[in-house]
Amino acid sequence: MQAEVTRHGHSQLEAAMAHLSDLIGFDTTSAYSNLEIISHIETFLTHWGCETTVLPDTSGNKANLVARLGPKDVPGIVLSGHTDVVPARPASWASAPFTMEQRGSRLFGRGTCDMKGFLACMLAAVPAFSQGQLSRPFYFCFSHDEEVGCQGAPAIARYLAALDTPPALAIIGEPSEMQLVTGQKGKVAMTVTVHGDGGHSSFAPQHVNAVEYASRIIEMVSQRSRRYEREGPFDHDFTVPHSTALTTLVEGGIATNVTPDTCRFTFELRSIDQASAEADMQALIADVEQALLPEMQRQADKAGIEWRELFSYPAMSDASDTDIFKRIEPILPDRGGKVSYGSEGGVFEIEGGIPSLIIGPGSIRQAHKTDEFIEIDQLSQCLTFFDTLNDWMRH
Ligand SMILES: [Zn+2]
């Protein structure tokens, strides 16, 4: 347990728990506005001497927040987390999802683990960060819409990259049980609509069967995945050590005796950092169109394949070779490999040129679940790490 006492006379851990309770109280499901939580956080950070910048999105309903503490002419360290959470169905929860509840050593509530626990620790540490002189600045970043495809983070990354002195490293607080994660897969999710030419099924050869053409595309997706498994590239730090591809949703046809004229399906490509999901997707689309479009259109002019990208985010590559990593490594937690879930790390790296790591409290196994919780000890470990980081920022 963290015994250190802040200026307010509360222990830092108590402060983190109080902040977390406040943050859970904002229902920031990605479908809703996050402006209230951003304003709540901004008020607190301004009080402790941070210079804040709000970056609204084009709808005006969402915003990112960037706050700097410390000198602006020295490369700093980013601590970043998303403010949105995945939906919760209150009826299936043991306690109200947007009211934090402590039961034993655990704090329950939507977002306790993913990832308001990290945000709460950041806020609880700010009074200590703001004491005396920092030699390097902190950039505290709070994004919108991470859970629906990292939509907010690109604007933060571009804002930071455009500063006279951009930050040197970003620490993304996704739940990693406070282990150091040095890689994350990239992903592209795509919805495909195959347009054929329908009719009475007894005239099958005269029509373009959209379901059958969709099944041939699905087979090409599956073949690609088997090729990744066989040929790599491989990185055994990932639990699944290669890229993957799979189809996840299919719908098509209207009746047993009608040749279907439409079939829609969704698939994803997930890539390790030596590959690019975007580039692989373009190659797959070219292969499919070359193999199938001519014969489809020979039979029916209106036949075709429509591709709609649902979302994409880049992989986060291993920052271990960078100078900043080598300097900060002595204070970083133990390595916990690389992860196959998404994070904003790849966005900071690709959009902002800022090498990134994942270190955050809580376990990804509790994220996105009914009765989501975080162990109080995880918050405590995060605060201890911030304490060490605070010392490092001063020399
Ligand atoms: Zn998250």
Amino acid at 10: H
pLDDT at 274 (0 to 100):
79
Ligand 1 geometric centre to CA of 24 (Å) = 14
Q: What distance in Å separates the CA atoms of residue 112 and residue 182, rounded to the nearest whole number? A: 23
Distance CA 7, CA 5 (A): 7
Q: Judge whether 12-183+316-392 and 186-313 match in fold.
A: no
Q: From ligand 1's centre to the CA of 115, what distance in Å?
A: 5
Model pLDDT, residue 1: 38
Cα(83) to centroid(ligand 1), Å: 9
Q: Are 157 and 354 in contact (CB under 8 A)?
A: yes
> Does 3.40.630.10 match the CATH number of domain 12-183+316-392?
yes
Distance 223 CA to ligand 1 centre (A): 31
| Fold classified for 186-313 | Alpha-Beta Plaits (3.30.70)
Q: What is the pLDDT of residue 356?
A: 97
315 alpha carbon to ligand 1 midpoint, in Å?
15
Query: Would you place residue 395 in the very low, low, confident or very high pLDDT band (cuts 50, 70, 90)?
Result: confident
Nearest by Cα to 315 from 282, 279, 343:
343
Say what the pLDDT of residue 6 is.
46
Gap from CA of 390 to ligand 1 centroid (Å): 24
The token pair that represents 74 in the structure block: 């020295």
Question: What's the 217 CA to ligand 1 centre distance in angstroms?
Answer: 32
Q: What are the pLDDT digits (tens) for 228-242?
A: 999 999 999 998 999
Compute, in angstroms, the gap from residue 49 CA to the centroid of ligand 1.
Answer: 27
User: What is the tens place of the pLDDT at every residue in 46-98?
Assistant: 999 999 999 999 999 999 999 999 999 999 999 999 999 999 999 999 999 99
Q: What are the two backbone dihedrals, phi and then psi, of residue 263, each rounded to the nearest 5 degrees?
A: -145, 130
| Ligand 1 center–CA 145 separation, angstroms | 10
Spell out the domain ranges in the chain: 12-183+316-392, 186-313
| Distance from Cα 150 to the centre of ligand 1, integer Å | 10
Could you tell me which of 379, 381, 347, 333 has the C-alpha nearest to residue 115? 379
Give me ligand 1 centre to Cα 87, in Å. Answer: 13
